[in-house]
Structure 1
Amino acid sequence: MSEVVQMSVAGGVGRLKLNRPERHNALDEQLIHDTHRAFDLLAGNPAVRVIVLCSDGPSFCAGADLEWMKRASHLDGQANFNDARQLAALLYAIATCPKPVVARVQGSAYGGGVGMISVCDIAVGVEGAQFALTEVRLGIAAATISPYVLAAIGARQARRLVLTGERFDAHRAKGYGLLHEVVAADQLDAEVDRVIALLLLGGPAAQAAVKDLIRDVEGEPLSRELTDATARRLAEIRASREGREGITAFLEKRKPNWVPVE
């Protein structure tokens, strides 16, 4: 793994750290490529139950590195498109990961950094962090991150924030839905550990199934076809090995076999 990304695995938890603090973890070709590669390794590792996305330095992610954006702006049409697809592919990989992904937001995030938070399942941030979607102030658009930002905060809030580019603090970010919890800096790791402990209690296959379910059900109108589809999914997972183990363990008043031994 390169110096700009650090990866570790311990106790069922894979940690992926953006390690470009001198550039406030701004995204460029190398950081995007290496982050995607590391994420795929963690997602494919059977020893990993939960993935934590984190950063080193005072900022979580300052968005796109402007030197990278300047280089990309001079590429021809297809090369420019191919370059833009790299970030889109990274975000898609995180969004469709079957394992729970937790964002540990130790500092401010702007532009693509907000997108990186939005694509995670759970986000915990520190008081004092600032956020903004400032692309329009550079004459560009928050395009590749838009599906995830809209899913996190809704179209109405997103429209305002992407048009104005205004900053908002961590408590407003929680109110918008970007962050789930806001804590003091000295409580960040404890809160992330609490979330991890809760996630490790869930069945891995059930967690993968429910992530798929939410993606498929979100925005769908209520119909007989939809209710039948959800009933079919319940029937399938209830009859699975993991489903039977979970129900049996509950009735026998013991922990199911996927819960880590203390």
Structure 2
Amino acid sequence: MLGEMIEIGASIAAFAGAAAGGYSYASLAPWSTLFGGALTAPSNPVSGPRQIALTFDDGPNPRMTPQLLDLLEKNKIKATFFLIGSYATQQKELARRIHAAGHAIGDHTWTHPNLSRTGAAKTREELSRTKDAIEQLLGAPVTLFRPPFGARQPATFRIARELGLTPVTWNIIGNDWKAESSEYITARINRQIARNDRQGNATNLVLHDGSHRAQGMDRSFTIEAVRRLIASSTDRHFVTLDAWL
């Protein structure tokens, strides 16, 4: 009897561990659909250039975003910016400049919480407050939403869709927030773009022009990596995420 109880207890523990691991995977993996589907990236067109969607999270950042906008304008490239709502209201003219330049703008919550740990009411407040503030600021609808850290739970994407927001994740992330050089970011990006090419997929790339920890963070490594990516991508077509809706 004791042996059977030990075996049952071990089985329960193993099941609980697997369930916890599955929940964690579903809450963070950008390609997981267990908690609902999200826009990642379509297949590349059979004919024509391969596509890259440059996306930037955690802005607007008065120290770095203007430099990034200058670089994109010089190369006639449009990108997608997921703005933190509280930052956008602090940097109104900069948010308007992003919009006026023709870039797509998405909702990245008001305070950048981990939405896999927030209640439904808090999640709705974070998304709706940001959407309303940016729409009032720009006079244009906001239809894209990226959860901070990619984190979500079963209600997250449902709430986003109820607010008219399309959830977005990614299929490449540059890890630029912790990079010690632009070379590191560039090598990581190139390696993952090559993987997407082999699989026939377009690229939805996450980089950061700001930081949720504080305004004014240095993202010069990111900007240099973007410069190098553009220079090496003459045979590719840069798109905003709304082109894939």
Check whether TM > 0.5: no
> 1 or 2 for the larger relative contact order (CA 8 Å, sep ≥6)?
2
Give TM-score scaled by structure 2 length: 0.31
